[in-house]
Amino acid sequence: MWTAYGNAGSPALITGTEGRVFLPTGDSRETAAFFRITNSGGSADRLLKVTSAEAGGAARLSRHRMVTANTASGQTVTSVPVPAGASLAMSPSGVDVIVPTKGTWRPGDLIAFTLHFQHSGAVRNLAVVVRPGH
């Protein structure tokens, strides 16, 4: 049925692993979360948004690019492709999730996130709170 509707190969098969969220520092009201997203299916998918009831508002997808050796530029993106048979490793110097903070998070806490995909729907994932650089 998947190919009958013009989709090549098998459907996307998305898993999320290695979730981590940076411990907020100082008076910051935002932090960043990262996941490894693997698509072991035969068709591409797109990450559309990330939500978390444990965060203090709407999370947003962001892409960072190094401008010089010491500076970076970040911009909000509406979606992120996850090609068939490939992985997306989020990082501070690439794609990440900007997360409003809520409450007091401590290193080792687990924060529940839901990753929303165009074809695969909602994929739940936990992220451990870590200090930046870990």
Q: What is the pLDDT of residue 96?
A: 95
Residue 2 lies in a domain: no
133 pLDDT band, cuts 50/70/90, is confident
pLDDT at 106 over 80: yes
State how many domains the chain has.
1
Residue 1 lies in a domain: no
Q: What is the pLDDT of residue 125?
A: 95
Q: What is the pLDDT of residue 110?
A: 95
Residue 52 lies in a domain: yes
Residue 4 contacts residue 84 (beta carbons within 8 Å): no
Q: What is the pLDDT of residue 67?
A: 61
Average pLDDT score, the chain: 87
Q: How far apart are CA 69 and CA 71, in angstroms?
A: 6
Residue pLDDT, tens place only, 13-66: 999 999 999 998 888 888 999 999 999 999 999 999 999 998 877 899 999 765
Q: What is the pLDDT of residue 8?
A: 60
- Strand ranges (E), 52-103: 60-66, 72-76, 80-82, 86-89, 95-100
pTM of this prediction? 0.84
Residue 133 lies in a domain: no
Residue 118 lies in a domain: yes
Look up the CATH number of the domain holding residue 72.
2.60.40.1890
> Strand 45-51 vs strand 121-130: parallel, antiparallel, or unpaired?
unpaired
Q: Which domain holds residue 59?
A: 12-128
Q: Which two tokens stand for residue 96?
A: 């990440």
Residue 30 lies in a domain: yes
Q: What is the pLDDT of residue 68?
A: 61
Q: How far apart are CA 30 and CA 15, in angstroms?
A: 25
